[in-house]
Homo-oligomer: A and B are copies of this chain.
Amino acid sequence: MFEAAELGRKISREDFDALAPALRTELLELQQQLRGADFPVIIVFAGVDGAGKNETVNLINEWMDPRWIETRAYGAASDEEAERPPFWRFWRDLPPKGKIGLFLSSWYHAPLIDRVQGRLTPAELDEALAPILRFEKTLADEGALILKFWMHLSQPAQKKRLKSLEKDPLTAWQVSETDWKHYEQYDKFLAAAERIIMQTSKGHAPWRIVEGADQRYRSAVVLETLKAAIGSHLAARSAARKVDAELRDESRDNGSAVTAALPPQPSILSSLDMTVALDPALYAQALQEQRARLALLYRRAIETRLSTVLVFEGWDAAGKGGTIRRLTNALNARDYQVIPIAAPTEEERAHHYLWRFWRHLARAGRVTVFDRSWYGRVLVERVEGFCSGEAWRRAYGEINDFEQQLTGHGIVLCKFWLHITAEEQLARFTARGEIDYKKWKLTEEDWRNREKWGLYEQAVNDMVERTSTHNAPWTLVEANSKPHARVKVMRTVADALEAALGAKKK
């Protein structure tokens, strides 16, 4: 695989000086166009130490407008980072649309080094690459341009390069003991790299192997590749948008067409017993009990650094707010955060739709409550046509993957759908209209959503079918009775927490 990058390719100073000015101008022009584009550019650098990763990153920053470039490199995880799922730090650093992100020692670094040093078997390496594949795929599916450069040096070339860096007092600092250690493990290093490149070179995120011995050659290859890729991605995205529009309502997985063709069927919501209620006399006591239980459990959760994420979805006026308040009453204000999810901000719109949820993940031991959530994509965005059919259908898998990263990190995740009947909603809307201090809660939009009850019901049904999993199950809450709903939610959270604390102790 690396033979083609050990050929002694080089460019003379004269040749380089001849091509540089035009290339530089073109790159700057493309960067201008990119600023108005609907995608980010993500560039990963990896490779043999001394093959010019850092120098190339510096050159890109020098030649292009650095205000639209973000450069990131990763060392050992910080405390902050270690308390979240491993990909949290990469998500938070993703460039927004229109910008270029340069990544050094990126998500490939740990798997590569772990394999070289024998901490991973080849099969475990593949396991470690799976989340990388999903990460890059979900970014590319949302439009990101992803390029990955493997900067290569033969072993003799690496030795020569490290020696020459060491000799010059100005560059000696660049050569660490780690570099020499890697040099000793050159063969293992290349074997691991070959496996990684083979597994992760995809059409939507290709690796490009660059011979790194000659500075001018490698610079020209990287920059010309960048130029060609940005140019053609701009063209491809504009063509793709046309087709998207054409195909918006077409899909092989057309659940609603099928449903419409059949006689009406019970949905997962219609199967709930909506007559359950809690005697008001018992309510106060039950609430008190669960609150005490939660308070106790949360003290232990904080001690053991067990985090909780709670998701609340439900019909308008189903009582999400009231339920969340009853629950958080049991907690210390510094230990929880309620994140109300409305339409995304401008900054959020410039990122992948999951980015705004990743950034809200709290540190270890905390409770994060999402009042509406990432499920917006398969609920409101689906029903209102805010995203393409392809996008919301794909979202089930992306959401499952996201939640697996949470639960895989040990986070307790509970998801609640607060269900009320259409009649109950009408009654609550009407009542709101009559009480002055509640009037503000009732908007035109609520009435419009109500007309789409059937579409939402289908969407909820599909959502539960696709995303209720063993580690991240949905709890459907009969919420015509607010007391019942509140106590059921609190008990479910307490049960989940108790189970997790028990499992943690063992």
Contact = CB atoms under 8 A, between A and B. Distances in A.
Interface of A: 1-5, 7-12, 15, 19, 23, 123, 126-127, 130, 145, 147, 191, 194, 198, 201-203, 206, 208-209, 217, 220-221, 224-225, 228-229, 232-233, 235-236, 239-240, 242-243, 246-247, 250-254, 257-258, 261-263, 265-268, 270-271, 390, 393-394, 396-397, 400, 404, 461-462, 464-470, 474
Sorted nearest first, the 5 A-B pairs with minimum C-beta distance are A4-B465, A229-B252, A228-B254, A224-B258, A9-B265
Number of identical monomers bound together in the oligomeric complex:
2
A8 B243 CA distance: 39
Contacts of A239: 243, 246-247, 250
A469 B201 contact: no
A209 B439 CA distance: 42
A239 B242 CA distance: 10
A32 B299 CA distance: 67
A261 B19 contact: yes
B263 A7 contact: no
A4 B469 contact: no
B127 A263 contact: no
A3 B268 contact: yes
Contacts of A228: 252, 254, 257-258
A1 B201 contact: no
Given A217-B265, A243-B243, A206 B4 contact: no
B203 A394 contact: yes
A8 B270 CA distance: 11
A340 B228 CA distance: 37
A197 to B, nearest CB: 9
A375 B143 CA distance: 30
Nearest to A221: B258
B266 A1 contact: no
B254 A229 contact: yes
Contact of A465 (B209, B240, B258, B271): B209
